[in-house]
Amino acid sequence: MVNENQHTCSTSSSSKSDGGSSSGSESSKDSSRCSTPVLDAERHERLREKMRRRQDSGDKWFSLEFFPPRTASGAVNLISRFDRMGAGGPLFIDVTWHPAGDPGSDKETSSMIIASTAVNYCGLETILHMTCCNQTKDEITGHLQKAKRLGLKNIMALRGDPAGEEWQEEVEGFNYAVDLVKHIRNEFDDYFDICVAGYPKGHPEAENYEADLRHLKEKVLAGADFIITQLFFQSETFLKFMKDCQAIGITCPIVPGIFPIQGYHSLRQLVRLSKLEVPQEIKDVIEPIKDNDAAIRNYGVELAVSMCRELLDSGMVHGLHFYTLNREVATTEVLKRLGMWTEDPRRPLPWAVSAHPKRRVEDVRPIFWASRPKSYIYRTQEWDDFPNGRWGNSSSPAFGELKDYYLFYLKSKSPREELLKMWGEELTSEESVFEVFTCYITGERNKNGHRVTCMPWNDDPLATETNLLKEQLEKVNRRGILTINSQPNINGKPSTDPIVGWGPSGGYVFQKAYLEFFTSSEIVTALLKVLKKYETRVNYHIVNVKGQNITNAPDLQPNAVTWGIFPGREIIQPTVVDPVSFLFWKDEAFALWIEQWAKLYEEESPSRMIIQYIHDNYYLVNLVDNDFPLENCLWQVVDDTFELLN
């Protein structure tokens, strides 16, 4: 599906990491009802199975580590980063646990909420770190239960740093990571995949290297599924460690932790925390350029690339774990140089699949939230019928109320000042609103010289593929047909098509043309006259903020507008125009006028009153051209409407 305004990273993210891992008991094999066609085997596997499959197939993978942000706006940025970096195809990401930052709380910035956002809203397979020292059994069980409830399936079990020097072992308490591993297996059986840390140079507090290896083996025997190592500076360090592990009988996957040096200070800080020693030859290079960030980063990338190559060439390494420090450039660069960054990942469905185990087989969504997938997931999070993978009759599931909606997700990524520059410091008429929409479509600067790169309904610039429709969109927006979503018709393009393709190869994808816009009641009156000529060919829904609703949808059934035909499979119809959910979307779409736009201006100001007028009086319209094999008639419908008005 090509949405005019949709170029959110989430559309292309998570292609490789869309699997909500799940235990066998969640499978719907026993049902004689149609199960969702398995478009992607990985979608049904748990993390350790995915890792095993990649190892068996020789398909190298990578993963990305992030830490939780300090502020809400940092969280918004980090989530955008998840989307962008998710597009490269990580097998998983992990989120560290900061005991000082209330990591298990419901705060937008907590480890728990960040990890659950990655799973639920970014569709990323995610590991949540968890430390155990200085915590009671009940606290830990509480965290784990919450993690499970939020859809997390993987835990990195760590000891954590004892608070202060006077730490001593508690009898019956959690003194080491192995205690946490045992606790997880005791209390949650096989529900979680468990990762533990390995120290290629030995843990700094261990008696010695050999004793530390024995501790590691204990963690594996207690139930850990795989190991991620502390960072190291030379490939030999890891390879020796790996051989030593194997020698004492550790057979699970061991993933090297890669730390691309990104700056002098971050390196120093990390070294201090991890008590690692930086090899002299690295110090020799870095010291002289310590004030040149770009030079250090280039060196860091070079170093990481060559070390990764050595690791991969050894034949002992199947995946690479990156300590990103929440930065994109260095890690992305290393991955691109290694050829491991998936530039154009295949999409299993035209929208980003959530990684929540409950939603893993979800396969139908209304088109309305195409540019707001996180909002859709949020508002449908209480639905419990995703396990069956079909959704169509929306008459019963209740959409979450807009008032419950996290401001966090409703908020634009741009600050108020930028929005004002884009959408107008001062609006003088409805036409000045038309102008904003038109600039967003054309990419041209507005009269104050600013480009309009986002709109209340679309937080990202117009997708490049929408250029096909640009000319028509510009024309209609200029005249007050304020478009917020559209897709062209497609009559059987290959599923591998770089722009509109999705699903497994060898298939064919189809779309009905779709157009959604706000417009005045005058235009609606003319439009309705015109639509009589297009009866049965064009389905329409027209609604205003008060809920006045005009439609010709037969029996309020959903209209499938995106579908795919694949070898050896049932038909997949991932996107529908659904009359009932449209009324829920309507509330959200109208609210965005006020919440995101009107509120930029002072109360009673003319600008605010113009937006308020539009909110109160305009209609939200959607049109579907059912004759997908013919030329899209929706532009003709709009032209006829303007002609009637003249």
Under rule CB under 8 A, residue 249 binds its own copies:
no
Beta 513-519 vs 482-487: how paired, if at all? antiparallel
Under rule CB under 8 A, residue 53 binds its own copies:
no
For residue 44, which amino acid is it?
A: H
Nearest approach, Cβ of residue 582 and its own copies (Å): 13
Residues 466-485 contacting its own copies, CB under 8 A = none
142 or 392, CB closer to its own copies? 392
Nearest approach, Cβ of residue 231 and its own copies (Å): 40
Active-site choice (4, 42, 45, 65): 65
Under rule CB under 8 A, residue 385 binds its own copies:
yes
Under rule CB under 8 A, residue 392 binds its own copies:
yes
Residues 156-175 contacting its own copies, CB under 8 A = none
33 or 272, CB closer to its own copies? 33
What gap in Å lies between CA 635 and CA 481, rounded to an integer? 11
Among 25, 57, 168, 536, binds its own copies (CB under 8 A): 536
What gap in Å lies between CA 486 and CA 469, rounded to an integer? 9
Under rule CB under 8 A, residue 624 binds its own copies:
yes
Q: Return the H-helix or E-strand segment holding 467.
A: helix 467-478
Among 376, 563, 582, 619, binds its own copies (CB under 8 A): 563
Nearest approach, Cβ of residue 367 and its own copies (Å): 13
What gap in Å lies between CA 258 and CA 334, rounded to an integer? 10
Q: Hey, CA dihedral for 346, 350, 352, 355, is it positive or negative?
A: negative
103 or 488, CB closer to its own copies? 488
Q: What are the residues facing 508 on neighbouring strands?
A: 494, 565
Beta 319-323 vs 254-258: how paired, if at all? parallel
Closest CA to 168 of 214, 205, 197: 205
Nearest approach, Cβ of residue 624 and its own copies (Å): 8
Under rule CB under 8 A, residue 550 binds its own copies:
no
Instruction: Supply the DSSP symbol for 37.
Output: P
Question: Is 65 assigned a catalytic role?
Answer: yes
Asked if 641 and 523 count as a contact pair (C-beta separation under 8 A), the reply is yes
Return the range that interacts with its own copies (CB under 8 A); candidates 65-73, 395-403, 599-607, 611-619.
395-403
Under rule CB under 8 A, residue 405 binds its own copies:
no
Among 226, 508, 584, 601, binds its own copies (CB under 8 A): 508
Among 25, 280, 395, 646, binds its own copies (CB under 8 A): 395
Nearest approach, Cβ of residue 397 and its own copies (Å): 5
Helix (H, G, I), strand (E, B) or coil at 348: coil
Phi, psi of 198 (to 5 degrees): -120, 150
Return the range that interacts with its own copies (CB under 8 A); candidates 29-37, 210-218, 229-237, 342-350.
29-37
Nearest approach, Cβ of residue 494 and its own copies (Å): 10
Return the range that interacts with its own copies (CB under 8 A); candidates 5-13, 118-126, 419-427, 507-515.
507-515
Query: What CA–CA distances, in Å, run from 642 to 4, 436, 440, 535?
Result: 22, 20, 22, 19
Residues whose CB falls within 8 Å of the CB of residue 129, separated by 6 or more in sequence, listed in order: 94, 95, 96, 97, 111, 155, 156, 158
Query: What CA–CA distances, in Å, run from 547 to 221, 263, 583?
Result: 61, 56, 7
Instruction: Supply the DSSP symbol for 217.
Output: H
Under rule CB under 8 A, residue 514 binds its own copies:
no
Residues 325-384 contacting its own copies, CB under 8 A = 364, 383
Among 12, 375, 394, 581, binds its own copies (CB under 8 A): 394
41 or 163, CB closer to its own copies? 41
What gap in Å lies between CA 61 and CA 45, rounded to an integer? 16
Under rule CB under 8 A, residue 137 binds its own copies:
no
Nearest approach, Cβ of residue 49 and its own copies (Å): 15
70 or 533, CB closer to its own copies? 533
Asked if 169 and 192 count as a contact pair (C-beta separation under 8 A), the reply is no
Nearest approach, Cβ of residue 583 and its own copies (Å): 16
Query: What CA–CA distances, in Å, run from 490 to 1, 441, 509?
Result: 9, 22, 7
What gap in Å lies between CA 488 and CA 329, rounded to an integer? 35
What gap in Å lies between CA 347 and CA 339, rounded to an integer? 19
Number of C-beta neighbours around residue 524 at 10 A: 19
| Active-site residue list | 65
Interface residues with its own copies (CB under 8 A)?
29-35, 37-38, 41, 364, 383, 385, 388, 390-397, 491-492, 505-508, 510, 536-537, 539, 552-555, 557-560, 563, 565-571, 573, 576, 624, 626-629
